[in-house]
């Protein structure tokens, strides 16, 4: 399942409804909760971009300062937090900088 929005690059989430649409429209979604001021988030950014380009997962990026209510609803306590969704259901969450191999392995398990 794919929409024109799935471009092979991370998608900037603009609202809670936008995130819900992405989760409904795609089989596997990796949601990256981040902040501009977050050093580890900046370290993880190239990895997340590569995952968007190289895997079938849709990568959604949520700026926790821009979408504070969404981050609060999803119980995001620290950044970076990565949530993995399969068929609209959250199946895994990891916090902090992760290796590309570990993240790709999670996505492959969901495929």
- Could you say which of 6, 29, 41, 59 is catalytic? 41
* 85 catalytic residue (yes or no): no
Task: Please name the residues in contact with 3: beta carbons below 8 A apart, sequence gap of 6 or more.
Answer: 25, 26
Say how far apart CA 94 and CA 54 lie, in whole Å.
20
In this predicted model, what pLDDT tens digit does every residue of 2-51 receive, in sequence order? 343 445 899 999 999 999 999 999 999 999 999 999 999 999 999 999 99
* 41 catalytic residue (yes or no): yes
Say how far apart CA 92 and CA 69 lie, in whole Å.
21
* Per-residue confidence (pLDDT) for residue 89, from 0 to 100: 97
Domains of the chain are 11-100 (3.40.30.10)
Give how far Cα 57 sits from Cα of 7, 18, 38, 71, 77, Å. Answer: 11, 16, 24, 21, 24
- Could you say which of 31, 35, 38, 110 is catalytic? 38
* Per-residue confidence (pLDDT) for residue 7, from 0 to 100: 58
* Beta partners for residue 90, in sequence order: 85
The mean pLDDT of 65-87, rounded to a whole number, is 97
The mean pLDDT of 98-110, rounded to a whole number, is 96
* Per-residue confidence (pLDDT) for residue 8, from 0 to 100: 87
In this predicted model, what pLDDT tens digit does every residue of 58-67 receive, in sequence order? 999 999 999 9
pLDDT confidence bin for 76, thresholds 50/70/90:
very high
CB 32 within 8 A of CB 76: no
Helix (H) or strand (E) holding 29: strand 28-34
């Amino acid at each position: 399942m794919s929409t024109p929005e799935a471009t092979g690059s991370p998608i900037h989430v603009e609202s809670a409804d936008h995130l819900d649409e992405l989760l409904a429209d795609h089989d596997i979604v990796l949601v990256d909760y981040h902040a501009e001021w977050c050093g580890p988030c900046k370290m993880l950014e190239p990895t997340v971009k590569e995952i968007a380009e190289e895997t079938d997962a849709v990568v959604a990026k949520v700026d926790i300062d821009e979408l504070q209510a969404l981050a609060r609803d999803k119980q995001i306590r620290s950044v970076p937090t990565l949530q993995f969704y399969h068929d609209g259901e959250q199946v895994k969450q990891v916090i902090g900088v992760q290796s590309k191999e570990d993240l790709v392995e999670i996505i492959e398990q969901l495929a």
